[in-house]
A = this chain, B = another copy of it.
Amino acid sequence: MSDRAGGDAMDEILRQWARERPDLDCSPMGVIGRISQLQREVFLAQRATFARHGLDAPSFDVLAALRRAGEPYQLTPTALMRTALVTSGAITQRLDRLEERGLITRGRSDADGRAVVVTLTDAGRTALDTALPDHLETERDMLAGLTDDERDQLGALLRRWLVALGRVPGGIPDPS
């Protein structure tokens, strides 16, 4: 097939493009493609970790956002939508699942008749606080192949890239 010793999947892809389309500069794929692949590895590793705690990524995402918010662990669906970067319909469904399991409760806001207030239950907080150290351990494991310097360098570059992309924190416009 190819000498794959010491390379990753993108090396082979770039080699193929260089052969088939030598007229094109495909170097951007080197960065972008690897981001996609790494995200996939991260996703799979996280999913396995969450499963050990009876959770999945979307649920963890919501529970973590509520936990991060601090006492009294309350956010509106709109706020959750912004941090999770999914549509309002997705948040509704996530909350349905979490509510059914007793990990959150939904109540109407006193201040705004349209708004819903999502509250982390004790069970929800316990579930999250139990899973969190394991989650962090998984992330640390994934990074174990890099030196501390490399990790810092990588984090700084990714951060700079995100800032350059001009993503204002919180994004998805609700289709309403």
Interface residues of A (CB under 8 A from B): 4, 6-13, 16-17, 19-21, 24-32, 34-43, 67-70, 83, 85, 132-133, 136, 139-140, 142-146, 150-151, 153-155, 157-165, 167-170
B38 touches A162 (CB 8 A): yes
The distance in angstroms between the C-alpha atoms of A163 and B27, with both chains bound, is: 18
A158 touches B31 (CB 8 A): yes
The distance in angstroms between the C-alpha atoms of A169 and B58, with both chains bound, is: 28
The distance in angstroms between the C-alpha atoms of A89 and B76, with both chains bound, is: 38
The distance in angstroms between the C-alpha atoms of A150 and B161, with both chains bound, is: 9
Residues of B within 8 A of A19 (CB): 70
B132 touches A167 (CB 8 A): no
The distance in angstroms between the C-alpha atoms of A20 and B128, with both chains bound, is: 13
Which of B13, B36, B145 interacts with A42 by CB under 8 Å?
B36
The distance in angstroms between the C-alpha atoms of A142 and B30, with both chains bound, is: 13
Residues of B within 8 A of A140 (CB): 28
B146 touches A154 (CB 8 A): no
